[in-house]
Chain A
Amino acid sequence: DTEVTQTPKHLVMGMTNKKSLKCEQHMGHRAMYWYKQKAKKPPELMFVYSYEKLSINESVPSRFSPECPNSSLLNLHLHALQPEDSALYLCASSPRALAGSYEQYFGPGTRLTVT
């Protein structure tokens, strides 16, 4: 099973709302990633978790708060977002957090709209 699942598929939220994005994999991977992708742009790395610990934060604003409760789950908590945060949010996993040595498997993404 090489599947990464993400919920919800679509999310519309106001600037004062709190919501969470969820990502799950059952491939035994120990690295998980959050990416943000704007229209007609490549994915931009936000966070990397390695063995359930945050190893990379690409200077992401604090209104985005990641959480890795266990090796299979990755959450992204959203609070007080801005309209410019509207984007496709992609989750990915790989066996280890060495981007070159292992391919990353991506989920279908959550399309977020902030109103």
Chain B
Amino acid sequence: AQKVTQAQTEISVVEKEDVTLDCVYETRDTTYYLFWYKQPPSGELVFLIRRNSFDEQNEISGRYSWNFQKSTSSFNFTITASQVVDSAVYFCALSEVGNEKLTFGTGTRLTIIP
């Protein structure tokens, strides 16, 4: 069975600080996919990144970066120089190959204080 754990329920940081959101996953498959989604107060889930299990390269997109480590089954997300617009709930998710379902973590509510 697959499982995603986001141990940080809520995080608050002051604007311009860096913040890392943790994601730990469990799966028996050797091929799987990991995702991060952002859910602002408006409610819509916004896709941020998809990473497959064979690609352990870290990824950077503007102020966002992701650190994928298979050895620790983690896929952490860092926001550099946080901004108020980054305030949202962030979900990490996992899907095994051939599976039609996403397994979501419980989410981390991030509040950026101006």
Contact = CB atoms under 8 A, between A and B. Distances in A.
Check if A and B associate.
Answer: yes
A89 B49 CA distance: 23
Contacts of B104: 42-43
Range of interface residues on A (Cβ < 8 Å): 20 to 34
A108 B98 contact: no
Contacts, number: 65
A100 B44 contact: no
Given A41-B106, A103-B35, A56 B43 contact: no
Interface stretch (B17-25, B65-73, B74-82, B89-97): B89-97
Contacts of B101: 45, 48, 56, 99
A98 B99 contact: yes
A100 B91 contact: no
A99 B42 contact: no
Contacts of A43: 45, 91, 104
A55 interface: yes
B107 A100 contact: no
19 contacts: A41-B107, A42-B105, A42-B107, A43-B45, A45-B101, A48-B100, A56-B100, A90-B43, A99-B99, A99-B100, A99-B101, A99-B102, A100-B52, A100-B98, A101-B33, A103-B35, A104-B45, A106-B37, A107-B44
